[in-house]
């Protein structure tokens, strides 16, 4: 089943468009996405993720388990980018370290969907509020990544005051958009949310495919730099997600005993963002190299989670 899931997701059109972008560069095609269109798509993806998460959250009846689960999700997205940043900074520059740390502190929607399929194969369902938690985990990781980059920019140039780093991150357009969209989705009635659903849901995969095509083109132009860093990025992209997933598969038992919720927490901790964080970094930290963090998250961490991670995390959940 895991092998079938791997094949199914490796044939996912969005992922294949990313590969097409890389191929286009290597065959020296003139294919490109106009800059204004690329920026619009980045904004759309952030808006759609936030709104859908808020709409899902509005349908839940709140209790202490949901509250603690939300807090755990936010805590995960705050802790992971901090410790990974300092691991990465030993080998990489501040911009790449911050972008990669934010990616691994954030989450992958495709990995989340794949995890739901895995649960179904185990005859388990999942709770809708986990979708909202996934959306809530996007922005804290982006904030931490920007704060860390800003802090070390200050050390290097003295241009950015440390006291302004958090304020700058919170008012950052990408963060404001995803948090604002989540709040709007939460406040909207079911009828109002249904009215906007064709835009937030039906068009999402198409825009995602074009976004990844653009990311593939950007990555292809810089892909050679990925190999100049030697074994470190690849090893990081394999080991860190497995460690994160196992730790939070166990730690989630402190807030919920539901095995499907615990498994989802493991997946959220282990996955790495290739939508929200790259979109935010493209807009705000152009110095970060997408030819480094996108191959790490898409080409390595994603298949590792599907083939090795999911059965490992499920085993930890069952035996702790």
Structure tokens at 319: 């035996």
Per-residue pLDDT at 165: 54
77 has a pLDDT exceeding 50: yes
Per-residue pLDDT at 95: 92
Tell me the average pLDDT across 14-24: 86
Separation CA 96–CA 103 (nearest Å): 10
Tell me the average pLDDT across 42-47: 86
Tell me the average pLDDT across 157-180: 63
Q: What percent of the chain has pLDDT over 90?
A: 33
Per-residue pLDDT at 160: 43
Residue at token pair 């934010």: 102
Q: Which comes out higher in pLDDT, residue 125 or 245? A: 245
249 has a pLDDT exceeding 70: yes
158 has a pLDDT exceeding 50: no
For the entire predicted model, the pTM comes to: 0.77
Render pLDDT for 97-123 as a digit per residue (tens, 0 to 9).
999 999 999 998 778 878 887 887 788
Render pLDDT for 265-275 as a digit per residue (tens, 0 to 9).
999 999 998 77
Give the best-scoring range by mean pLDDT among 20-24, 239-243, 275-279, 282-286. Answer: 239-243
Average pLDDT, the chain: 85
Per-residue pLDDT at 71: 95
Residues recorded for the chain: 320
CA distances from 222 to 101, 103, 218, 302 (A): 19, 18, 7, 20
Task: Pinpoint the alpha helices (H) of the chain.
Answer: 2-10, 13-26, 35-58, 64-88, 94-105, 109-121, 129-136, 138-157, 162-170, 173-187, 190-197, 204-228, 232-251, 259-270, 276-284, 290-294, 302-304, 310-318
Separation CA 106–CA 136 (nearest Å): 9
Per-residue pLDDT at 103: 94
Render pLDDT for 197-237 as a digit per residue (tens, 0 to 9).
888 888 888 888 898 898 888 878 877 667 778 899 999 99
pLDDT band at 128 (very low <50, low <70, confident <90, very high): confident
Structure tokens at 91: 């080998």
Render pLDDT for 251-267 as a digit per residue (tens, 0 to 9).
999 999 999 999 999 99
pLDDT band at 9 (very low <50, low <70, confident <90, very high): low
158 backbone φψ class: left, alpha, beta (φ>0; ψ -120 to 50): left
Reported CATH class of domain 2-17+35-318? mainly alpha
Tell me the average pLDDT across 305-318: 90
pLDDT band at 10 (very low <50, low <70, confident <90, very high): low
Per-residue pLDDT at 156: 47
Separation CA 287–CA 82 (nearest Å): 20
First to last CA, the chain: 24
Separation CA 106–CA 271 (nearest Å): 7
Per-residue pLDDT at 277: 84
318 CB neighbour count, 10 Å cutoff: 12
Separation CA 172–CA 281 (nearest Å): 11
């Amino acid at each position: 089943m895991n092998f079938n899931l791997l094949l199914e997701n490796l044939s996912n059109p969005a992922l294949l468009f990313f590969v097409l972008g890389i191929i286009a560069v290597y065959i020296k095609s003139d294919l490109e996405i106009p800059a204004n269109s690329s920026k619009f798509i980045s904004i759309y993806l952030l808006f759609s993720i936030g709104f859908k998460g808020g709409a899902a959250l509005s349908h839940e009846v709140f209790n202490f388990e949901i509250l603690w689960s939300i807090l755990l999700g936010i805590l995960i997205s705050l802790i992971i980018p901090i410790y990974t940043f300092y691991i990465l900074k030993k080998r990489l520059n501040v911009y790449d370290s911050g972008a990669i740390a934010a990616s691994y502190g954030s989450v992958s929607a495709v990995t989340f969907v794949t995890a739901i399929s895995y649960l179904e194969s185990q005859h388990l369902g999942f709770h809708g509020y986990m979708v909202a938690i996934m959306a809530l985990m996007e922005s804290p990781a982006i904030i931490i990544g920007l704060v860390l980059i800003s802090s070390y920019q200050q050390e290097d140039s003295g241009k950015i005051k440390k006291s302004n780093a958090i304020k700058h991150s919170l008012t950052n357009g990408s963060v404001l958009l995803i948090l604002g969209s989540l709040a709007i989705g939460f406040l909207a009635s079911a009828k109002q949310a249904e009215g906007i659903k064709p835009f937030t849901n039906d068009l999402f995969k198409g825009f995602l495919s074009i976004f990844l095509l653009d990311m593939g083109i950007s990555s292809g132009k810089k892909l050679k730099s990925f190999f100049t860093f030697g074994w470190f990025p690849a090893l990081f992209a394999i080991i860190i997600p497995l460690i994160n997933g196992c730790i939070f598969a166990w730690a989630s038992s402190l807030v919920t005993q539901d095995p499907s919720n615990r498994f989802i927490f493991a997946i959220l901790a282990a996955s790495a963002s290739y939508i929200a964080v790259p979109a935010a970094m493209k807009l705000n930290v152009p110095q970060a190299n997408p030819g480094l963090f996108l191959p790490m998250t898409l080409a390595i961490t994603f298949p590792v989670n599907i083939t090795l991670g999911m059965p490992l995390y499920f085993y930890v959940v069952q035996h702790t």
